[in-house]
């Protein structure tokens, strides 16, 4: 037997209904915030992610799925989508778009991580990017949007964490200070942190190992070393969030796992996920376009929601709530009844109701099946009903049964469903 590759999975009913719910709600909310969809290729030139994400990040060093094409080009399955979006903006001159460019995406990403709860090697993200402004108002709106997306999906009890990682003007001084402080404690940290202490000291702050946290907490705080512009930007973002009634917790160690972030960084976490509790993360990336070769400055801010984790949370906190219910199960008793009722079934489906029709003519079996699939009503059609011009409509919850004519059925059924 051939199985799915380790770290991947099949999304099956009824879970697929929760995925559809999340994506439908996301599209509705994103449209309300004037975002438009962009679809980028699943694989790109490897250099895009090396430059954009950062050559010293865990993603580039050990998590990317990279392969050589037949022409010798190095290609990589996308581990994230922001770099791809900015590449598309540069390539297609979307910097000429009037006003703020707002784009969103949904789809699979790929990282060769150790599979664990809510984390897969093929995982899915819902992301949004607002490109063309350095205003802290855009940061605040992006954060509000991410929270609204989670709320509209049905998630409650999430927590917003916030930080600023400075800019190219003030961050190098902090990194030098951090590197100096790490010379004393790095030998006692995990192997990844010892490596990062030399290659990318800021990434040490992103360590998730519990054993390292006390030592990392003793390191200098980046918030104490922001330049005036970054400090003012961060304070304004915080003020705009407070104006919207959005609560947050400032976490000076929050740096995220990607090198392109500048200034605002944030995460949204949920306790039900355990140690790996992040369901959304994002921030500002004002220099990413130039790093990817753009001659035009395209500052931006964005985020991505881990759809796998969001669905997992909804299935835990709202079990069965987003599974679609079958409105009507039609039980034709024999070939004649099946042919007679089929046009009405088509008409009802076109009206927007979910209908299943039995393919066998035994009434007891049909009603048992209607009950198992959770149908709200069952319509019984046999030779007697055809002759009388009326069918038997059974309420599968109360057991009550009434006679309805073919002409009046659609209106009566609509009334019953709307008032059920």
Res 274: pLDDT: 65
373 occurs within a structural domain: yes
Same domain as 393, residue 251: no
122 and 46 share a domain?
A: yes
Does residue 27 fall inside a structural domain? yes
Could you tell me if residue 194 is inside a domain?
A: no
Claim to verify: residue 248 and residue 306 sit in the same structural domain? yes
Same-domain pairing of 390 and 299 = no
Residue 196 pLDDT: 81
Residues 355 and 239 in one domain: no
* Same domain assignment for residues 307 and 333: no
How many domains are contained in the chain?
Answer: 2
Classify residue 216: in a domain, yes or no.
no
Print pLDDT tens along the chain (420 aa).
999 999 999 999 999 999 999 999 999 999 999 999 999 999 999 999 988 887 767 788 778 999 999 999 999 999 999 999 999 999 999 999 888 999 999 999 999 987 776 689 999 999 999 999 999 999 999 999 999 999 999 999 999 999 999 999 998 898 888 888 888 887 888 887 888 877 788 888 877 778 878 888 888 889 999 999 999 999 999 999 999 999 999 999 888 766 788 999 999 999 777 666 889 999 999 999 999 999 999 999 999 999 999 999 999 999 888 888 899 999 999 889 999 999 989 988 998 889 999 887 688 888 888 988 889 999 999 888 888 888 899 999 899 888 888 777 878 787 777 766
Residue 63, domain CATH: 3.30.930.10
- How far is 385 from 393, CA to CA, in rounded Å? 11
> Which pLDDT belongs to residue 97?
87
Q: Are residues 159 and 278 in the same domain?
A: yes
What CATH number is given to the structural domain containing 395?
3.40.50.800
**End residue of a domain, out of 295, 317, 339:** 317
8 A C-beta contact, residue 88 and residue 244: no
pLDDT for 236 equals 98
Question: Residue with structure tokens 């006679």?
Answer: 403
Q: 312 and 355: one domain?
A: no
Instruction: Quote the pLDDT of residue 388.
Output: 84
Strands 401-405 and 390-395: antiparallel
The answer to whether residue 297 sits within a structural domain is yes
Task: Count CA atoms closer than 13 A to 79's CA, side-chain side.
Answer: 26
> Tens digits of per-residue pLDDT, 281-298?
999 999 999 999 999 999
**Which residues neighbour 17 within 8 Å (Cβ) at sequence distance 6 or greater?**
322, 323, 324
Tokens 């694989």 sit at which residue? 43
Are the C-beta atoms of residues 317 and 279 closer than 8 Å to each other? no
How far CA 27 is from CA of 21, 153, 257, in Å, comes to 10, 11, 27
Residue that terminates a domain, selected from 272, 296, 317? 317
Q: Are residues 309 and 362 in the same domain?
A: no
Q: Report pLDDT for 418.
A: 73
Q: What is the pTM of this model?
A: 0.89
Kindly state whether residues 231 and 360 are assigned to the same domain: no
pLDDT of 330 reads 93
Let me know if residue 145 belongs to a domain. Answer: yes
Q: Which of 317, 351, 366 is the last residue of a domain?
A: 317
Judge if 244 and 380 occupy the same domain. Answer: no
The answer to whether the beta carbons of residues 248 and 161 sit under 8 Å apart is yes
Q: Is residue 399 in a domain?
A: yes
236 domain residue, yes or no: yes
Full residue range of the structural domain in which residue 332 is found? 328-418
Q: How many other C-beta atoms lie within 10 A of the C-beta of residue 409?
A: 18
| Together in a domain, 341 and 361 | yes
Tally of CB atoms within 10 A around 158: 20
Query: In sequence order, what DSSP letters do the residues of 304-342 get, joined into one string?
Result: EEEHHHHHHHHHHHSTTTTSPPP-EEEEE-SHHHHHHHH
């Amino acid at each position: 037997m051939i199985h799915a590759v380790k770290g991947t999975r099949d999304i099956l009913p009824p879970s697929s209904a929760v995925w559809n719910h999340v994506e439908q709600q996301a599209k509705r909310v994103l449209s309300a915030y004037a975002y438009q969809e962009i679809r980028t290729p699943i694989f790109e030139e490897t250099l895009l992610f090396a430059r954009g994400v950062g050559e010293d990040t865990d993603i580039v060093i050990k998590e990317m799925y990279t392969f050589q094409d037949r022409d010798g080009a190095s290609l990589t399955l996308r581990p994230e989508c922001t770099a791809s979006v900015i590449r598309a903006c540069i390539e297609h001159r979307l910097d000429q778009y009037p006003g703020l460019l707002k784009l969103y995406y949904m789809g699979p990403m790929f990282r060769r991580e150790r599979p664990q709860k809510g984390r897969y090697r093929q995982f899915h993200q819902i992301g949004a990017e607002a490109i063309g402004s350095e205003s802290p108002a855009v940061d605040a709106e992006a954060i509000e949007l991410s929270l609204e997306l989670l709320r509209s999906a049905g998630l409650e009890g999430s927590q917003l964490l916030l930080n600023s990682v400075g800019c190219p003007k003030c961050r190098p001084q902090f990194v030098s200070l951090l590197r100096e402080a790490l010379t004393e404690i790095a030998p006692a940290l995990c192997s990844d942190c010892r490596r990062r202490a030399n290659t990318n000291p800021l990434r040490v702050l992103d360590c998730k190992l519990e054993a390292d946290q006390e030592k990392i907490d003793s390191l200098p705080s980046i918030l104490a070393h922001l330049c005036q512009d970054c400090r003012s930007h961060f304070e304004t973002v915080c003020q705009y969030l407070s104006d919207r009634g959005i609560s947050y917790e400032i976490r000076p160690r929050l740096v995220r796992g990607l090198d392109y972030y500048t200034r605002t960084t944030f995460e949204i976490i949920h306790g039900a996920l355990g140690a790996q509790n992040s369901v959304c993360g994002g921030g500002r990336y004002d220099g990413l376009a130039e790093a990817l070769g753009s001659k035009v400055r395209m500052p931006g801010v964005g985020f991505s929601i881990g759809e796998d984790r969001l669905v997992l949370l909804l299935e835990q906190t709202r079990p069965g709530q987003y599974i679609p219910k079958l409105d009507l199960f039609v039980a034709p008793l024999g070939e004649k009844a099946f042919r007679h009722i089929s046009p009405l079934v088509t008409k009802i489906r076109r009206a927007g109701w979910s209908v299943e029709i039995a393919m066998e003519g035994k009434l007891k079996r049909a009603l048992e099946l209607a009950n198992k699939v959770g149908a709200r009503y069952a319509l019984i059609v046999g030779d007697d009903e055809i002759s009388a011009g009326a069918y038997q409509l059974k309420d599968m919850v109360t057991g009550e049964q009434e006679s309805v004519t073919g002409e009046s059925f659609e209106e009566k059924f609509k009334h019953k469903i709307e008032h059920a």
